Chains A and B, each alone.
Chain A
Amino acid sequence: MSDLLGSVRLAWSVVVRNWVVYRKDFIANISPTLADPALMLTALGMGLSPFISSIHGLSYSQYLAPGMAATTVLFTAFFECSYGFYVRMTFESVFKAMLTTPIGTGEVVLGEFIWVSIRAALMAGGVGIVLELLSLLPNPWAVFLFPLIGAMLAIPCGAIGLLASSYVRNINQFQTVYSFIIAPLYFISGTFFPLNDRPVLGALVQVSPFFHGVSLLQMAAWNQFSPERIAYHLSVMLSYALILGLWSLARIRKKLIN
């Protein structure tokens, strides 16, 4: 038990380390994650809305809104755990020195997950507030649910990044991971168009961890709560978090320990 507490304390010190480095370049670090959803909403929401009458009784901007929170979660978590982690691991040798202290590989990985969860929660909350101010959230209370869902969704998204970090042979290969894994997860996730009335895509997308997070955010934003659907999406998403999280832990451990 005290071992577990010790682990959490050490993982938290990894979070502190990331924060100390992150805040050095705060503006540069935070801009893309905020700019992307804002641009998306402007281009698609404002640009396309006039041509699309309504989806399930929502304006297209309202339809897009929760997906914007999901977007920032996906990109925050994936990029931090892919490029960010990879640079720390290979170019900066951060862990070489860190692992001489009581911190172990388990705490390194746990720390990364806590770090991206917190960041994703804050970003999702921030996007939520903007959406609220733009009156794009039919359920105004969704603002409080976004950070919670964002924090959970960040785990599978970050785990994909860590797995990528453990498999790529050089940093350029992340581009391939993005094109073949992240982009499909992103564009086919219900963020941009509904999937439930498409038999093939609708069935296929069930294997995407991102889709389940998007669905939860949409239910929150649109005030469409059904206990069965919440239970389904939540349990699939958390299962992914657990499986991908443990898998990435095993992979990163192999990378950090010779």
Chain B
Amino acid sequence: MISKPNSTVAVDARKVTKRFGELVALNELSLAVDSGQCVGLLGPNGAGKSTFIGCLYGSVERSEGDLRVFGFDPAREARRIKERIGVVPQENALDEELTVRENMRLYARFQGVKDPFRRIEELLEHMSLSHKRHAQIRSLSGGMKRRLTFVRALLSDPELLILDEPTTGLDPTVRHLLWDKVLSYRQVGKTVLVTTHYMHEAELLCDRVIILNHGVQVAVGSPKELIEKETPGFVGIFEADQKSTLKIHLDSNWHCFMQGRQYCVRAPQIEHLIALQAASGVMAIQMRPANLEDVYLKLTGEELGENE
């Protein structure tokens, strides 16, 4: 029954729970990733993103619940799954002692890649790393190491690409390059599961996002749907010390909140914000449509500090 791979659903999780002793890292998480989709798993540090990803290929053993990847149970048939996925783990875990090519050749061997030489050259070229093929990995910059980790994940031309915080700590140039690669990977019909806490990244890449907090799913939907549902409208950002001046002009239906040292007002229409400026005489630092970050902060932001 289960040995028959499911063609339309790449990942199917039903009430997956993972406990580390007392700590509940995943709490009855249910989600599905359809083939060809790019799904984002969002959430603050410690939300359980990496734990869930580990469950998918058997490096974390779930405590309860049902989980299938391509129809296989990772607790019992991890190899069947791992033959068809590519993983960019949160930590690169490259062999620092080896050269770029030595390392990739080993991984090509692990993954049973046919014609490894050509494949490696192709991917190094693709990630603009060809000139580094003989360099020791320890001599590479952080961005190069991350790109090389992408090369490693793509060696076997996987059906499902799993990215765990792929661009954390990278400069904008590398980040854009990697986004571009992920998008083109999607275009050829592959499935992507990506964790991130950059909302811009999620909006750019994902058809659907799942927001996690403390191992519990707090929202799911397309970025657009979530914005419509949770934080519709436009956000005006003001200096914090203008708060009292602005307050008297606000409509009671608008949403107001502090964000760092800035005072934010979310109103249904941009005209409302323009009118607010005129009435109060306070100019906004910025006015913009609500975005996924607003959703994320609304749903996960309250308890900042506890998560860290």
**A residues neighboring B (CB under 8 Å):** 3, 6, 10, 13, 16-17, 20-21, 24, 92-94, 96-104, 256-258
In the complex the two chains form, is B59's CB within 8 Å of A97's CB?
no
Q: B residues engaging A (CB < 8 A)?
A: 20, 51, 54, 57-61, 78-79, 82-83, 85-87, 89, 91-98, 102, 106-107, 109-112, 152-153
| Contact sample, A vs B, 27 pairs, CB 8 Å cutoff | A3-B79, A6-B79, A10-B110, A13-B106, A16-B109, A94-B95, A96-B89, A96-B91, A96-B93, A97-B89, A97-B92, A97-B93, A97-B152, A98-B110, A100-B82, A100-B85, A101-B82, A101-B110, A102-B82, A102-B83, A102-B112, A103-B82, A104-B58, A256-B59, A257-B58, A258-B59, A258-B61
Give B160 Cβ to nearest chain A Cβ, in Å. Answer: 12
Known: A92-B96, A93-B91, A104-B79. A99 touches B106 (CB 8 A): no
Give, as a whole number of angstroms, the nearest-CB distance from B60 to chain A: 5
Q: In angstroms, how far is the closest chain B Cβ from the Cβ of A48?
A: 41
Q: How far apart are the CA atoms of A257 and B74 in the complex, in Å?
A: 12
Q: Tell me the complex Cα distance, A93–B59, Å.
A: 13
Q: Is the CB of B60 within 8 A of A100?
A: no
Interchain CB contact under 8 A, A13 and B91: no
3 nearest A-B pairs in the assembled complex, by CB-CB distance: A97-B93, A100-B87, A101-B110
> For chains A and B in complex, what number of residue pairs have CB atoms within 8 angstroms?
73
Q: How far is the CA of A98 from the CA of B78 in the complex (A)?
A: 13
Chain A: interface secondary structure? helix
A102 touches B79 (CB 8 A): yes
Residues in chain A near residue B78, CB distance under 8 A: 104
Q: Hey, which chain B residues are within 8 Å of A20, CB to CB?
A: 98, 102, 106
Please give, as numbers and ranges, the residues of chain B lying within 8 Å of A257 by CB-CB distance: 58-61
Distance in Å from the Cβ of B148 to the closest Cβ of chain A? Answer: 11
Q: In whole angstroms, what is the CA distance A24 to B137 when docked?
A: 14
Q: Once the chains bind, are B95 and A21 in contact (CB under 8 Å)?
A: yes
Once bound together, how far apart are the Cα atoms of A6 and B83, in whole Å?
Answer: 12
Q: Beyond the given A17-B95, A96-B89, A102-B79, could you list 6 further A-B residue pairs with CB under 8 A, ordered by the A residue number?
A: A16-B106, A16-B109, A92-B93, A97-B107, A98-B110, A258-B59
Chain B residues with Cβ below 8 Å from A6 are 79
- B177 smallest CB distance to A (angstroms): 21
Separation of A100 and B154 alpha carbons in the complex (Å): 12
Tell whether, in the assembled complex, residue A24 and residue B97 are in contact, meaning their CB atoms are under 8 Å apart: yes
Residues of A within 8 A of B112 (CB): 102
* Residue among B57, B58, B61, B95 with most chain A CB within 10 A: B95
A3 to B85, CA, bound (A): 19
Residue pair B106, A100 in contact (C-beta under 8 Å) = no
| Cβ distance A98 to chain B, nearest Cβ, rounded Å | 7
Which of A3, A93, A101 has a CB less than 8 Å from the CB of B107? A101
Give complex CA distance A21, B112 in Å: 20
A156 to B167, CA, bound (A): 44
Beta-carbon nearest neighbor of A7 in chain B: B79
The complex places the Cα of A166 from the Cα of B85 at a distance, in Å, of: 29
A3 vs B80: C-alpha distance in the bound complex, in angstroms? 10
Please give me the residue from chain A that is nearest to B55 by CB atom: A258
Known contacts A13-B106, A21-B98, A93-B91: does B111 contact A101 (CB below 8 Å)?
yes
Most chain B CB within a 10 A radius of its CB, from A17, A94, A97, A103: A97
Complex CA–CA separation, A93 to B110 (angstroms): 16
Q: Which residues of B contact A103 (CB under 8 A)?
A: 82, 110
Most buried by B among A3, A17, A94: A17
Taking the nearest CB of chain B, how far is it from the CB of A187, in angstroms? 35
B57 contacts across to A, CB distance below 8 A: 99-100
Q: Of B20, B51, B87, B93, which one neighbours A93 at CB under 8 angstroms?
A: B93
- In the complex, the chain B residue whose C-beta lies closest to that of A254 is B61
A102 near B93: Cβ-Cβ < 8 Å: no
**Beta-carbon contact of B59 and A99 below 8 Å:** yes
In the complex, how many angstroms separate the beta carbon of B114 from the nearest chain A beta carbon? 14
Residues of A contacting B93 with CB < 8 Å? 92-94, 96-97
**How far is B112's CA from A20's CA once the two chains are assembled, in angstroms?**
17
Chain A residues near B94: list those with CB within 8 A: 97
- Please name all residues of chain B whose beta carbon is closer than 8 Å to the beta carbon of A94 when the two chains form the complex: 93, 95
Query: Which residues of chain B are within 8 angstroms of A96 by Cβ–Cβ distance?
Result: 59, 89, 91, 93
- Can you name the residue of chain B whose Cβ is closest to the Cβ of A100? B87
Closest A residue to B111 by beta carbon equals A101
What separation, in Å, do the CA atoms of A62 and B176 have in the docked complex?
A: 70
Q: Which residue of A lies closest to B56 (CB)?
A: A100
> Which residues does chain A contribute within 8 Å of B109, judged by CB atoms?
13, 16
Quick check: A102 and B111 within 8 Å, CB to CB? yes
Whether the pair A102, B106 counts as a contact (CB closer than 8 A) is: no
Whole-angstrom CA separation of A210 from B61 in the bound complex: 36
Shortest Cβ distance from B82 into A: residue: A102
Tell me the smallest distance from the CB of B104 to a CB of chain A, in Å: 12
Contact B20 A92 (CB under 8 A): no
The complex places the Cα of A3 from the Cα of B76 at a distance, in Å, of 13
Q: For B20, list chain A residues within 8 Å (CB).
A: 258
